[in-house]
Amino acid sequence: MTSSALLRREAEPAAIAADTAEPTRAMPTPALPARSASAMAARWIKLNKERIRALLLGTISLLLFLVAWHFLTKYRVVFFVRFTNVPSPLAVHASFVKAIHDPHFLMHIALSCRRIFLGFSLAALIGVPLGLVMGRFKLVHETIFPVAEVLRPIPAIAWVPMAIMLWPTNEQSIVFITFLGSFFPILVNTLHGMSLVDPVLVRAAQCLGAQERAIFREVYFPASLPHIFTGLTVGMGVAWVSLIAAEMISGQYGIGYFTWEAYSLVQYADIALGMITIGVLGLASSLLVRAIGKLVMPWGRT
Amino acid sequence: MSNADARPAQGHIEVKDFALSYETIDGAVAAVTETNIHVKPGEFVSIVGPSGCGKSTLLNAVAGFLKPTAGVVTVDGEKVNGPSAERGMVFQQYSLFPWKTVRENVEFGLKMRGMDRSQRERAARTLLGLAGLEAFEKHYPDRLSGGMKQRVGIVRALATGPKVLLLDEPFGALDAQTRVIMQQILTNMWQRLKISVLFVTHDIDEAIFLSDRVYCMTARPGSIKAEIPIPLERPRQQSMMMSSEFLALRRGLMSLIREESLKAMGGEINDLAMQGLTIDLHGHSLADVL
């Protein structure tokens, strides 16, 4: 502090009162009086310019993709890659309309979702607590981490033969592979989150009378949550990759199996339909994880 | 302000023959040596010193985060063995829990003590009202200014009714104007609660303005170089900072710290050698400028 600053303050002792003088970001800015609905609409557009632009560009880009796809397949372009047998967007649309009335197709989707749900939930239920405990207790970390490091680089697909040997049913081995795919990203990110917990916050909690268990629950866990959710989002993506591979190799049913089967049965439109379905399901589940994250962490900063 | 008669008998800090050193590969490195300080119940005491002198180390030992290598820290005769809610602490980095709202932050200590929800909600609201923060009880710390965050930090530390309040450069990260306001708020709270305060700062004006007594530490390894009573009457006004009494105290402390800061910078600057220099800096010699 400089004494000149103090001098300046001296002139207005009333400003010392606790709740004046400090500008804050939290204060609501006074709203301009809105004259009419059209003025309000204009303001809304001005405020949301960025979002509107992004939405517009996104739509245009998707449309352009469809148009390009349409013409490439319509004229059966052969230019390094061959579009000779590639189904057109309209053909895919037709098979989609047929498929949504077909209980088999819906069952494929339901089964894949079930496998994802089981494998991913198991990974989260084991990975998050394990990561928290490993992050808190050095001894556990030193014991388990080497094994995890050796197993981690093995892609889930490489586990397929082993999984078939390990588990009595096909279904179990597919869930196991989905589990493996999402387990490591979840574990590693949880560990990372734990390693970044601000020690000053732990001290602050101790000064307020918090004991070990309370510190774990009130400080370590919430402080790691943003990274835990990063792990869950990444884990969800890898879960789909692993699931589709497992379904294609060892599966009966499931959307990955559907896609592979379409190829075997020379139903080219169904290949694209399967692929798009996988994309949409993967996107939806990632969005779901993110939405849950926002719900669990209302303080933002993610 | 004479509140001697109203002073409670609680919150007597005693640091005796204190030393603290860190183990390194080259052996022990002393951070603080041969230190004796005390804070009487209800007293406001500051520790100033050059950066790296171990003043924060000393405060952390009183808080219970660090164990002394030699000597003992006691509060009301009881040896300090670890952190506890008896000694509230305010950190420079605010250290509010970002995942808790302002009110939940203030409630934290009471929750740890097992107070039920409605009771601690009421207590937190009252305290936030005293600090002029009731309108922000539902905000997350992320959305508060630095001064408001630190007000919450102080209120949170006081909520459990600690015997002593420890502050580690609490206003170091604030701008000058906010800092003056915060000093006033802290003084008001201290006078109302009559709690013992141990305050670490590198700001001499702040130390004099706030304290009953100031300890000045030597450069690393830190020890007490001087103990300066501040006889300025209370309640203190900003205008006092221009009084001759204040300025005399300031000059005294300033020269003590300057000596130590130069030592900390690795050897004293040789003033005589400086005077031999004839570098012209807009009409001043380098020696004058330094």
Provide the terminal-to-terminal Cα distance of chain A, rounded to the nearest Å. 35
CATH of B13-86+162-289, one of 3.40.50.2300, 3.40.50.720, 3.30.390.50, 3.40.50.300: 3.40.50.300
Q: Is the pLDDT of residue A7 over 90?
A: no
Q: Reply yes or no on whether the pLDDT at B277 is more than 60.
A: no
How far is the C-alpha of A189 from the C-alpha of A152, rounded, in Å?
Answer: 13
pLDDT at A3: 43
| Residue B73, strand partner residues | B15
Q: Do A204 and B89 count as a contact with CB atoms less than 8 A apart?
A: yes
pLDDT in tens, B42-94: 999 999 988 888 899 999 999 999 999 999 999 999 999 999 999 999 998 88
Q: What residue of A is the nearest CA neighbor of B172?
A: A1
Mean pLDDT of B129-138: 89
Residue A6 scores a pLDDT above 70: no
Contact across the interface for A25 and B157, Cβ inside 8 Å: no
Select the more confidently predicted residue: A2 or A254: A254
User: Rounded to whole angstroms, what are the CA distances from A192 to A63, A142, A150, A183, A289?
Assistant: 40, 15, 18, 14, 19
Rounded-to-integer distance, Cα A209 and Cα A224, Å = 21
A188-242 pLDDT tens trace: 999 999 999 999 999 999 999 999 999 999 999 999 999 999 999 999 999 999 9
Q: What are phi and psi of A31, to 5 degrees?
A: -80, 140
Average pLDDT of span A125-151: 94
Res. B28 pLDDT band, cuts 50 70 90: confident
Q: Mean pLDDT over residues A286-301, rounded?
A: 90
Residue B206 scores a pLDDT above 90: yes
Looking at the complex, report in whole angstroms how far the Cα of residue B109 sits from the nearest Cα belonging to chain A: 5
Q: Which of B85, B151, B176 faces A207 most closely, judged by CB atoms?
A: B85
Residue B23 tokens read as 């183990």
Q: What residue segments make up the domains of chain B, in order of their start?
A: 13-86+162-289, 100-161
Share of chain B above pLDDT 70, in %: 88
Q: What is the mean pLDDT of residues A111-123?
A: 97
Is the confidence at residue A109, as pLDDT, over 70?
yes
Of B63, B143, B205, the CB nearest to A25: B143
CATH code of domain A91-296: 1.10.3720.10
Q: What does residue B70 show for φ and ψ, rounded to 5 degrees? A: -140, 160
Residue A19 has pLDDT above 50, yes or no: no
Q: Is the pLDDT of residue A151 over 50?
A: yes
Cross-chain residue pair B238–A6, CB shorter than 8 Å: yes
pLDDT in tens, A46-90: 889 999 999 999 999 999 999 999 999 999 988 889 998 899 999
Model confidence pLDDT, tens digit, residues B232-244: 988 888 888 889 9
Measure the CA–CA gap between B181 and B185, rounded to whole angstroms: 6
The answer to whether the Cβ–Cβ distance between A15 and B181 falls below 8 Å is yes
User: Average pLDDT of chain B?
Assistant: 87
User: Which comes out higher in pLDDT, residue A275 or A6?
Assistant: A275
The encoded tokens of residue A213 equal 């268990």
The pLDDT, as a whole number, for residue B263 is 74
**pLDDT of A21 over the 70 cut:** no
B141: closest chain A residue by CA:
A299
Q: What is the pLDDT of residue A204?
A: 95
- Structure confidence at residue B50 (pLDDT): 85
Indicate whether A2 pLDDT > 70: no
Contact list in B for residue A211 (CB cut-off 8 A) is: 112
Q: Among A30-34, A110-114, B139-143, whose mean pLDDT is lowest?
A: A30-34
Domain range summary for chain A, segments of one domain joined by +: 39-82, 91-296
pLDDT of the residue at A102 = 92
Average pLDDT (A125-142) is 94
Q: How far apart are the first and last CA of chain B?
A: 40
- A interface with B, Cβ–Cβ < 8 A, is 1-3, 5-10, 13, 15-19, 21-26, 198, 200-201, 203-211, 214, 218-219, 222-223, 225, 297-301
Residue A30: the pLDDT is: 52
A253-257, B103-107, B116-120, B187-191: which has the minimum mean pLDDT? Answer: B187-191
Q: State the burial class of residue A184 (Cβ atoms within 10 Å of its Cβ: 0-12, 13-18, 19+).
A: buried
- Cβ pair B154, B127 in contact under 8 A: no
> Which long-range CB contacts under 8 A does A162-168 form with residues at least 24 apart?
A163/A246, A163/A250, A164/A250
Quick check: A130 and A187 in contact, CB under 8 A? yes
Chain segment B83-124, per-residue pLDDT in tens: 999 999 999 888 999 999 999 999 999 999 999 999 999 999
Are B32 and B71 in contact by the 8 Å Cβ rule? The answer is no
Residue A283 has pLDDT above 90, yes or no: yes
In whole numbers, what is the pLDDT of chain A averaged over residues? 87
- CA of A21: how far to CAs of A86, B16, B130, in Å? 68, 43, 16
What average pLDDT does range A42-47 have in this prediction? 89
Question: Is residue B156 within 8 Å of residue B105, measured between CB atoms?
Answer: yes
* Mutation site for B-interface testing, chosen from A2, A10, A19, A208 by largest number of B Cβ within 10 Å: A208
pLDDT of res. A59:
96
In this predicted model, which residue has the larger pLDDT, B187 or A6?
B187
- State what percent of residues in chain B have pLDDT above 90: 61
Indicate whether B289 pLDDT > 70: no
Q: How many CA atoms lie within 13 Å of A153's alpha carbon, on the beta-carbon side?
A: 3
Which has more pLDDT, A34 or A190?
A190
Measured CA distances, A51 to A42, A46, B279 (Å): 14, 10, 60
Q: In what order do the strands lie in the sheet with B213-217?
A: B87-90, B164-168, B196-200, B44-48, B213-217, B224-229
